[in-house]
């Protein structure tokens, strides 16, 4: 579904990504791990077109994303859940969801279509808060709303940046349960996460980044066996 090859990205003269390579198959949850400042979020923003890569290729279902704008990439079927959530704090939960709707051709079949009604059915907490303004939601509820608002645009792939950051353990479980439900609906997920234990609960495969490069790729068993890699590149 997604192939990133030899991706280089700069912020001004600062070389942040040094030839990143990764791929996702349809239906997978893949987690990008690593310490702060190694380029995880920049990788996500480069895929989404928020930051322009200077070199490399990003293929999504055969479409070249490099050079496209974020809204063009979104229309192709890629959704983005930013680290800072960016909900509309003065709008209600329902109004926030309406803002996520897209007109025109859908990226999924009718049986997998995410509607606002389906969001309320699958995630009752949002239904209970539908008339509450975004600014009055808890951190976990805001995270759930951000994911839900992305889903009603019916992407085939969602990029989720640090979904459990700053959340209490019980709320982390709720967010992970939500992401598991998203995966069950057929949506592919690429997520950035620093919570190692949370990542193990949800992801099928893992990449670890160190200073703008991928230093590890593997499944859960391989990750748990890679003691030196985890010691040198993760905060666990």
Position 132 scores a pLDDT of 96
Dihedral of alpha carbons 219, 212, 73, 125, sign = positive
- Taking alpha carbons only, the member of 158, 81, 151 closest to residue 120 is 151
Instruction: Give CA–CA dist 37/24, Å, rounded.
Output: 23
Distance (Å, whole) CA 179 – CA 185: 10
pLDDT at residue 194 in the model? 85
161: pLDDT strictly greater than 60: yes
Which pLDDT score is estimated for 24?
97
Q: What CATH code would you report for 2-233?
A: 3.40.50.300
Q: Report the distance separating Cα 183 and Cα 177, nearest Å.
A: 10
pLDDT tens digits, residue range 34-85? 999 999 999 999 999 999 999 999 999 999 999 999 999 999 999 999 988 8
């Amino acid at each position: 579904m997604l192939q990133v090859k030899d991706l280089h990205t700069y912020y001004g003269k600062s070389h942040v990504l040094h030839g990143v390579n990764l791929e996702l198959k349809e239906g997978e949850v893949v987690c990008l791990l690593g310490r702060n400042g190694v380029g995880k979020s920049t990788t996500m923003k480069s895929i989404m077109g928020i930051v322009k890569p200077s070199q490399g290729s990003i293929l999504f279902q055969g479409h070249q994303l490099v050079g496209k704008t974020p809204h063009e990439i979104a229309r192709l079927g890629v959704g983005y859940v930013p680290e800072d959530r960016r909900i509309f704090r003065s709008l209600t939960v329902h109004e926030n969801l309406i803002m996520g709707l897209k007109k025109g051709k859908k990226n999924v079949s009718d049986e997998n279509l995410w509607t606002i009604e389906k969001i309320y059915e699958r995630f009752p907490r949002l239904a209970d808060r539908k008339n509450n303004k975004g600014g009055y939601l808890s951190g976990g509820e805001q995270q759930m709303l951000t994911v839900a608002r992305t889903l009603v645009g019916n992407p085939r792939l969602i990029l989720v940046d640090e979904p459990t950051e700053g959340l209490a353990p019980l709320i982390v479980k709720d967010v992970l349960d939500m992401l598991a439900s998203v995966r069950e609906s057929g949506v592919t997920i690429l997520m950035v996460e620093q919570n190692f234990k949370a990542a193990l609960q949800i992801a099928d495969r893992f990449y670890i980044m160190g200073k703008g490069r991928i230093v590890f790729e593997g499944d859960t068993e391989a990750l748990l066996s890679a003691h030196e890699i985890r010691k040198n590149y993760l905060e666990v």
